[in-house]
Amino acid sequence: MYPPTPGVDATPPPDLFSDLSTLQLLPGMMSEAKPKPPRSCRRDFLKGPIPWSWLVRAMALPGAALAVALILWREAGIVKRLTVAAGHSRNRRCGILPDAGRRALRNLEKAGLVSIARKPGRGLEVTILEVENDG
């Protein structure tokens, strides 16, 4: 041990953990814990914001275009990217037949709401595009 320094108290500091009551939480220091939903429920949402002008343009399209658009936005929210894989199985679970889904994607593409990458032997990659605010 080092020799004592003049003018400095050489007594050791008190042991903080000798009295555990000094560590207890007082009322109001704890917040209510909110339970997380089960993992299966985390996909039951539509994440936004979705630009209103984008939705208005999708609403004006015929057939299942709006329904397919909402499916695409839901997938984009899940993967946290604007490029998603288009799949008939998701559409089918929402009551959209494959031909109607294909027409809807073509209509969304013609309206400038999505771009579609078509690669031989692979599924479609759909990218949700930004649109001008129609104000």
Secondary structure, 3-state, the chain: CCCCCCCCCCCCCCCCCCCHHHHCCCCCCCCCCCCCCCHHHHHCCCCCCCCHHHHHHHHCCCCCHHHHHHHHHHHHHHHCCCEEECCHHHHHHCCCCHHHHHHHHHHHHHCCCEEEECCCCCCCEEEECCCCCCC
pLDDT for 24: 72
Ordered by start, the domain boundaries in the chain are 49-128
Per-residue pLDDT reduced to its tens digit, 20-47: 666 677 777 766 666 665 555 556 778 8
**pTM for the full predicted model:** 0.67
pLDDT for 83: 95
pLDDT for 70: 94
Q: Does domain 49-128 have CATH number 1.10.10?
A: yes
